[in-house]
A and B are shown apart, each in its own frame.
Chain A
Amino acid sequence: MTMPAWAERPTRFGASVKGLVLALIVAAVLFPIYMVVLTSLSTQEAVSKAGGLVTVPGELSFAAYEQLFAGGVVTRSIGVSLGVTGVGTLLSLTVTVLAAYGLSRPGSLLHRPMLFLVLLTFLFGPGMIPSYLLVSSLGLIDSYWALILPTAVTAFNLVVMRAFFMNIPEEVTDSARIDGASEFRILWRIVLPMSKGVTAVIGLFYAVGYWNAFFNATLYLNDNTKWPLQVVLRQFVLQGQSMFVGQTGDTAVGGHALPPSLAIQMAIVTLALIPVLVIYPFVQKHFTKGVIIGAVKG
């Protein structure tokens, strides 16, 4: 407790109201997630006993996950999502770091026009129709690159990163430059190691963007065997369409198509949640004011 000496002690009433409000806020975030994960881990009996979503832990089982991972639509879509996220994040981060460093020295050749070009994208979006026409004329319909290239560079991330690089004192890099190091080497050996936090945060922003990408996939991918997880989530959970668990997802295959059971639906939701829940704690500590203030000033 670091309460400054001049501050009045909080009243007991005030403190308990505050505590209650904060507890409610935390519960409002966590409860739906808890409920979904619990339902996905419950047996069919436990789900029917609860009359739907399970809020009190009963009999648990991994049956839903076993069915989902037996192959078929969901397994494949997770592969697609992981692949797009991995390749996309790597590409985005590389391009963004390079450009942020390249634009971090005011007065260098073409610095002003190029920065202007980046900043102008804040003011005016390209528009949905022309973007679609461009992607289709590049022949990227039904290509995974359609999920990556149009969103590969976000001006916001670039500007945040650049603001961070500009705050590194020039004396640090100057000595390396005098010793004849190339700019690439300076970036790789000196600047990047000093910027692990901001790189992690920007990496998370990009990764989350790719993992969560939904609309571009529905727009650019007509082939439903290429769908990423978010589209599958919408199709089978939000819209409750029939699916063949453990099969190819190709409706031409015979057999009964049933709407997936609640446990399976919730297992799909959980699978969409997990990567965010896993990576997030490692990056959270870097959400320092430095990153964000940099964004404001940029």
Chain B
Amino acid sequence: MAAPDHIAVERSADAGPAGDLPSPAGSGTIRRRARRRAEDRIKNGSLRARFRRDWQLLLMTVPAIGLLLLFHYVPLLGNVIAFQDYSPYVGVKDSPWVGMSNFQWLMFDESFWDATLNTLSITTFQLIFYFPLPILLAILLDSVVRPRLRLFIQGIVYMPHFFSWVLVVTLFQQMFGGAGLLAQILRDHGFAGVDIMTNPDTFILLVTAETVWKDAGWGTIIFLAALAAINPHLYEAAAVDGASRWRRLWHITLPGLRPVFVLLLILRLGDALNVGFEQFFLQRDAVGRDAAEVLDTFMYWRTLLTGEWSYGAAAGLVKGVAGLILILIANKVAHRFGEQGIYKRS
């Protein structure tokens, strides 16, 4: 088998099979160095000279930064109420401080742990049954040779991503609900009707199916870009050396997709405590708390609706900090495996 050697040679010449994608070393480093040199040149000069040169750029950035500060960072600071017994009538300044007691309550709150467990089992389930689908679909789409047909199919499968969750849940209800098409057909043929939309036992399948319908197509876009960036000479060389279709898939296509795959996996793992709020918010009542309560809906029903602000902020803070830790760990692991991860090791 000469194929692997061949590929290795190609790789060193082309800075990675993925061509355009971030490569471990090579051209990326040089580009970065050039950019830093340019930066240094720009940075020279006194503060006043730089302000005179850059004030317009600063002015342009102010509205966005202002909005982010107000609606992202101010609420972040607002999390201090997690350590208080906050009452809106008294305000943040005068509400009594209670230390960690909200967190202690949370640790003994069974419904909090139930919601956490639900969230994590849905994440795990979707990691196995949803996460690989966009890759498979992308490889399938990539194998459609006729460009117009391919563009058409892409257009169709991307589309549901742009529908709201209300719409998606409604469409599923019309297909699989108690008065939906499936029940209608079953009844016409003398069977008992089904109502998948209210069955807690199959709820995890239902939400995963909804997620697949809505987002599996859109998820391919990033893999299609990675596939397009793979150097076609690699395939040709491998084919000439006698590698079969499947071998080429295994030795060229999949390695070419790996950086993107790892990146998305990290993002998903870091986001493990988020399973999408609206989807569950909309279906929680129909299915019941036991199956459909996730962390976000827990916060809404248990605290926002009852006005237990401090308790809800504590739950949010726990979730946020846990999510942050998860993403940092996932990134560390990626670095250990020699992948780029989300941010660079500077």
Give chain A's interface residues, CB within 8 Å of chain B: 1-4, 6-8, 18, 21-22, 25-26, 28-30, 32-33, 35-36, 51-53, 55, 94-96, 98-99, 101-103, 105-110, 114, 117-118, 121, 123-134, 136, 149-150, 152-153, 155, 158, 182-184, 187, 204, 208, 211-215, 219, 230, 233-234, 237-238, 266, 269, 272-273, 276-277, 280-281, 284, 287, 289, 292-293, 295-297
Contacts and interface: CB of A to CB of B under 8 A. Distances in A.
A269 B303 contact: no
A53 B42 contact: no
A130 to B, nearest CB: 3
Nearest to A231: B166
Contact of A32 (B74, B171, B317): B171
A292 B236 contact: no
Contacts of B137: 25
B51 interface: yes
B71 A292 contact: no
A150 B75 CA distance: 11
Given A107-B42, A124-B76, 12 more contacts: A35-B174, A36-B171, A98-B63, A102-B57, A121-B72, A124-B324, A149-B71, A153-B68, A184-B60, A212-B162, A215-B281, A266-B174
B245 A293 contact: no
Interface residues of B, number: 107
A287 B236 CA distance: 28
Contact of B304 (A129, A230, A266, A292): A129
Contact of A128 (B55, B229, B296): B296
Looking at A52, A121, A149, A297, the one whose CB has the most chain B CB atoms below 10 A away is: A52
A128 B167 contact: no
Judged by DSSP, the binding face of A is helix
Contacts of B165: 212, 214
Contact of A272 (B88, B155, B160, B166): B166
B112 interface: no
A29 B217 contact: yes
A127 B35 CA distance: 37
A29 B61 contact: no
Given A129-B304, A212-B164, A289-B225, A105 B57 contact: yes
B170 A293 contact: no
Nearest to B20: A293
Interface in B295-324: 296, 299-300, 303-304, 309, 312-313, 316-317, 320, 323-324
A96 B63 CA distance: 9
A53 B239 contact: no
B100 interface: no
15 contacts: A35-B174, A53-B180, A94-B63, A98-B63, A101-B57, A102-B60, A109-B47, A117-B73, A130-B78, A130-B316, A149-B70, A183-B57, A238-B282, A269-B167, A296-B263
A296 B54 contact: no
Given A133-B88, A183-B57, A289 B229 contact: yes
Name, among B74, B143, B174, the residue most crowded by chain A CB atoms within 10 Å (CB to CB). Answer: B174
A127 B313 contact: yes
Interface centre among A7, A109, A187, A293, by most chain B C-beta atoms within 10 angstroms, is A109
Given A99-B65, A126-B76, A109 B57 contact: yes
Contacts of A277: 159
A29 B220 CA distance: 15
B61 A150 contact: no
Contacts of A108: 42, 50, 53-54, 57-58
Contacts of B58: 102, 108-110
A21 B163 contact: no
Contact of B320 (A124, A182, A281): A124
A233 B170 contact: yes
